[in-house]
Amino acid sequence: MLFIPELSLLIGSLILFGVSLGEGKEKWAHIVVLTLSVVTSLLCLATLGQKGTLFFEAYQIDLFSQLFKLAIAVGMMVVVIIGSQLKGVSVKVKPEYYLFMVLSTLGLMMLVSCVELLSLFVALELSSYALYLMVPMRDDQGGLKIQMEAAIKYVLFGVVATGTMLYGMSYIYGLTGTTYMSGIVPKMHDLAGNPTAMLAIALFMSGFFYKLAVFPFHFWVPDVYQGASNATTAFIASVPKLGAAAILIRITTLVAPDAGESVVMLLMVCAVCSMFYGNLSALVQTDVKRLLGFSGISHAGFVLLGLVTLDTVGFATSMYYISGYLFMNLACFLVICKVSRNGENVSVDDLSGLYSRAPLLALTLLVGMMALAGIPPFVGFMGKFMLLTGALKAGHLTLVILAALNTAIAIYYYLSVVRVAFTKAPEGRPDVPVDALTRVVSIALIVIIIVMGVVPKPILALATSAVKSIL
Amino acid sequence: MDFLILHDGWLPILSILMILPLAGAFLLFVIPGENFQKYWALGVTILTAAVSLPLYYSFDPTTHNYQFGEHHSWIPALNVNYTLGIDGISLLLVLMTTLLMPLCVLCSWRYITTKVRAFMFCLLLIESTMLGVFMALDFVFFYIVWEATLIPMFFLIGVWGGERKIYASIKFFLYTLAGSVLMLVAIIALYFNTDPHTFSIPLLMGQGYSSIFQKWVFVAFFLAFAIKVPMFPFHTWLPAAHVQAPTAGSVILASVLLKMGTYGFLRFCLPITPAASVTFTPYILWLSVAGILYGGFTALAQSDMKKLIAYSSVGHMGFITLGIFVLNPNGMEGALLQMINHGITTGALFLCVGIIYERTHTRELALNAGVGMYMPVYVTFLAFFSLSSLAFPGTNSFIGEFMILAGGFAKSKLIATCAIPGAILAAAYMLRMLQKVIWGGTENPIHTGLSDLNTREIVTLAPLLLLVFWIGLAPKPFINVMHASVAHLLEQVIGMQTGIAPMANVLLP
């Protein structure tokens, strides 16, 4: 019962493997994966209240892990729907493509439940390797082989980050003599202030900084976002970040509530650098995916703001923010996937006159971008507001002011995308057809973004009790 | 919660005022036909105005507490509440907003030809958020509606504006947003410096924060509000936005959005950071004087009618900030009255410019010269509104400016004397415009095809003209509602008991 969501993904991936063996079964692949993602989401919802441990206590099921699993499953479902035609991915590899997507999701779901370092590592690699393979699965755009370049960069940076993380894990094992989180936590508290322990934590974190695209592990972002097909980027930009945020919260609890002065300093520096680097670079982008990539770096910085507080509310706010980010980001990628006619990249100018070409998409883009920019009443504002409140409560005034300044910088590029969609003439660009399912998803995303922003109370309460369950 | 008089009627009237336009906006999506949509928007705004009128009659002018209050918990973890209420400072602003909106719909009847549904949606949305700004008594809710006004305004300018609409809308959005980002930090800082932590605006007043903390908070607030007002030298977004906006956008911008800045000074800066306000007073007074003179001289040099009125706004808003920061009852009540006056008069002037632009498709003074012969009714309206703008005795602005200057002289003769030329400049640029538009010279362009105002346009302008003379001849009903709140505000700032009868009572028995 505890393992059912993962089990359904596992079975689903076996079915997909079967489908990939035959020829001419591409249609089936999409139906299978769509059904699978819906079923998995429902199963996650059904197992939300479950508690327990599996596999010699290396695998823990609690509210924290189940909430993240639910978000991951929903994220995958949305990606499957918005990338339904898989434009830009060759028909021949579609079943394999979905197979890897399901495996990667499976890895992420396992990741958020792992409380033992080696299983954590295995889960992370399962999700990463599947992603490494998804990136080059794209038609060659203009013979430049940018998808290969992206894949190579993704793998190389990924391997370096993983290596760093393993190095950190080895230190942790050396210091504490165990690979179980439950054993590490008390020992780490005894080692408070020990430089080696802090170094170990920092190295350990770097693997997840890479996934979340935090400075200085962000270098892969722009090229991978640009080189991978639109649906792949939508996946990479949203779902793995949930897993990364979950584990970063778990790691930070190792040093909470007292012992983390140097870790806090590290997180703060990374947060500020991410925000400035992401926002300033995004200002000059013309490719929408690249722009969202840089914006993702700055949002990763914001997620760290919740961690520096080292308290329950801060962690809960980070959870709230990253789940809000999932929906805002997916809203933007939905528009990209639909506007792109044959799977090519979408430049800002391609959105010209979107308001008259596809009003609903334009509205979705408006809500998504404004939410990312942190304009009320959307979830982005409420999340930023609570992150800033939390950070100021912990006494980080400088950090809060720098973050607030970043919000002001960021408005510019989000607004210029919206501006193009609403005020420029279409200049002969054709209407964008939108199918019924996409309409439903668009409206659902808009509603979620607004409701989460206006009524944050229930989600925050849920996140708070989730964080309490792991402390 | 003793500052809030909860509304005991069976309906939460303030929430209803905000929800009516919002619901009307969303219902627009199911209403077919552009004509029907216009009537729908008109109906919704008129209904909102009608619902708001009882506020005046049930308002109790003897108390400074917030009336018609509503209070609901929103995010308990952070002690964020949904608190609404109005006092003598916000009452007239709320009424002005609701009464102006039907006129904004009317003036767009012909002017807006594309995307009518979306236009009316933006109008209704912005009405809802503007009302929220004037009613909010909780900082988080206030910040949300404060920022939310930007989105519909951005589209009003950016989609239905003039040739340089994109430049103007982006500039407007970025300027005002960048200004208010630090305000958010200040709000959070206030939250943590108050025990128990609260976002309730009235509870944050009079907390006796340390003087250095007050200064920082004041600066953060000041930046946000000074850009909104706009005070010299933060005014550069205003002419661009005004000139490019459609008529309804200009009216909303001039009449209501600018008032949000001065309202912010009155509601937040003065009572929350009184010591810092007193410290910074001289600088702000001189900035106001600079704005008055700069706005006046620049307006004198304009050849575009809309630009002329936009720069005149900079001058008029300078008078208002001057009145606020002289920190005496006359100045402050004058400033509050002048906020309403400016809303009426400048709104009306923008309507007039819109009317002529619809006919001649230009706003150049030289090309609109001498239309008085063909449009006698139009120039009559224009003349009265221009006289009101230059504070001619008998019109509304005279009362306001007189009270402000009376307060100014009580504070500092030097500053008041420096502001006086502003009034003369106003006469100069307004009469120059009138002369050109009505009579022109010997080489007037040919206007034979011009038709005079139609019924719709007369209906749009007449209520404003009525108010110009009503406030000009009998300002008492408008000033009466302010006394208690202004006296309380001054008490909060300088702790002085205002025993002196305000000048208006002596002047106009």
- pLDDT score for A176: 86
Nearest-CB residue to A408 (from B169, B178, B189): B178
Q: Do B158 and A386 touch (CB under 8 A)?
A: no
Please provide the average confidence, as pLDDT, over all residues in chain A: 86
- Put simply, whether B177 touches A (Cβ < 8 Å) is yes
Position B376 confidence tier, pLDDT thresholds 50, 70, 90: confident
Give the residue, B506 or B9, on which the prediction is more confident: B9
- Smallest CA–CA distance, residue A107 to chain B, in Å, is 34
- pLDDT score for A364: 92
- For B31-49, write each residue's pLDDT tens digit: 888 888 889 999 999 999 9
Q: Is the pLDDT of residue B106 over 60?
A: yes
Position B132 confidence tier, pLDDT thresholds 50, 70, 90: very high
Q: Do A388 and B78 touch (CB under 8 A)?
A: no
Average pLDDT on B200-220 reads 86
Average pLDDT on A192-215 reads 85
Which residues 67-96 of chain B have a CB within 8 Å of chain A? Answer: 74-78
Split into its structural domains, chain A has a count of: 1
Q: Do B145 and A411 touch (CB under 8 A)?
A: no
Q: Is the pLDDT of residue A439 over 70?
A: yes
- For A348-365, write each residue's pLDDT tens digit: 888 888 888 888 888 899
Average pLDDT on B357-378 reads 86
Q: Which residue of A has its CA nearest to B163?
A: A423
Nearest-CB residue to B144 (from A377, A404, A423): A377
State which of A412-421, B8-17, B459-468 shows the largest mean pLDDT.
Answer: B459-468
pLDDT over 70, % of chain B: 96
- pLDDT score for B134: 92
Amino acid at residue number B204: L
- pLDDT score for B371: 85
Question: What are the chain B neighbours of A461 within 8 Å (beta carbons)?
Answer: 77
Which residues 328-367 of chain A have a CB within 8 Å of chain B? Answer: 355
Question: What are the chain A neighbours of B169 within 8 Å (beta carbons)?
Answer: 419, 423
Classify A424 in phi/psi space as left (phi over 0), alpha (psi -120 to 50) or beta: beta
Q: Which residue of A has its CA nearest to B150?
A: A375
- pLDDT score for B129: 92
- pLDDT score for B93: 92
CA distance B98 to B91: 11
Q: Quote ipTM for the complex.
A: 0.78
Which residues 372-431 of chain A have a CB within 8 Å of chain B? Answer: 375-377, 381, 385-386, 388-389, 392-393, 397, 400-401, 404-405, 407-408, 411-412, 415-416, 419, 422-424
Average pLDDT on A369-377 reads 87
- pLDDT score for A307: 86
- Smallest CA–CA distance, residue B177 to chain A, in Å, is 7
Q: Which residue of B has its CA nearest to A385?
A: B184
Position A257 confidence tier, pLDDT thresholds 50, 70, 90: low
Please provide the average confidence, as pLDDT, over all residues in chain B: 86
Q: Is the pLDDT of residue B498 over 60?
A: no
Nearest-CB residue to A386 (from B78, B147, B158): B78
- For B271-319, write each residue's pLDDT tens digit: 888 888 888 999 999 999 999 999 999 999 988 888 999 999 999 999 9
Nearest-CB residue to A392 (from B151, B174, B188): B188
Q: Give the N- to C-terminal CA distance of chain B in Å, as an integer.
A: 37
Q: Do B75 and A457 touch (CB under 8 A)?
A: yes
- Smallest CA–CA distance, residue B76 to chain A, in Å, is 8
Q: Do A411 and B143 touch (CB under 8 A)?
A: no
Classify A112 in phi/psi space as left (phi over 0), alpha (psi -120 to 50) or beta: alpha
- pLDDT score for A56: 83
- Smallest CA–CA distance, residue B184 to chain A, in Å, is 8
Q: Do B147 and A376 touch (CB under 8 A)?
A: yes
Question: What are the chain B neighbours of A424 within 8 Å (beta carbons)?
Answer: 166
Closest CA to A105 of A31, A10, A187, A19: A10
Among A354, A384, A389, most B C-beta atoms within 10 A, so best to mutate, is: A389
Among A372, A399, A415, most B C-beta atoms within 10 A, so best to mutate, is: A415
Range of the domain at A287: 4-468
Position B501 confidence tier, pLDDT thresholds 50, 70, 90: very low
Count residue pairs from A and B with Cβ separation < 8 A: 81
CB B272 within 8 A of CB B217: yes
Which residues 192-231 of chain B have a CB within 8 Å of chain A? Answer: 192
Among A357, A398, A400, A423, most B C-beta atoms within 10 A, so best to mutate, is: A423
Residue B56 to residues A36, B8, B67, B136, B399: CA-CA distances in angstroms? 61, 16, 11, 18, 21
Q: Do B144 and A381 touch (CB under 8 A)?
A: yes
Q: Is the pLDDT of residue B499 over 60?
A: no
Tokens of residue A145, six digits:
């082989």
Average pLDDT on A28-49 reads 85
- pLDDT score for B375: 87
Position B495 confidence tier, pLDDT thresholds 50, 70, 90: low
Average pLDDT on B94-112 reads 89
Q: Do A404 and B184 touch (CB under 8 A)?
A: yes
Q: Do A419 and B185 touch (CB under 8 A)?
A: no
- For A41-93, write each residue's pLDDT tens digit: 888 888 887 788 888 877 888 888 888 899 999 999 998 888 777 777 777 77
Position B66 confidence tier, pLDDT thresholds 50, 70, 90: confident
Q: Do B182 and A397 touch (CB under 8 A)?
A: no
pLDDT over 90, % of chain A: 13
Closest CA to B86 of B62, B125, B59, B50: B59
Domain ranges of chain B: 273-480
The b/e string for A391-425 (b: 16+ C-beta within 10 A; e otherwise) is bbbbebeebbbbbbbbbbbbbbbbbbbbbbbbbbe
Q: Do B174 and A388 touch (CB under 8 A)?
A: no
Classify B325 in phi/psi space as left (phi over 0), alpha (psi -120 to 50) or beta: alpha
Question: What are the chain B neighbours of A460 within 8 Å (beta carbons)?
Answer: 75, 77
Q: Do B182 and A401 touch (CB under 8 A)?
A: yes
Q: Do A393 and B74 touch (CB under 8 A)?
A: no
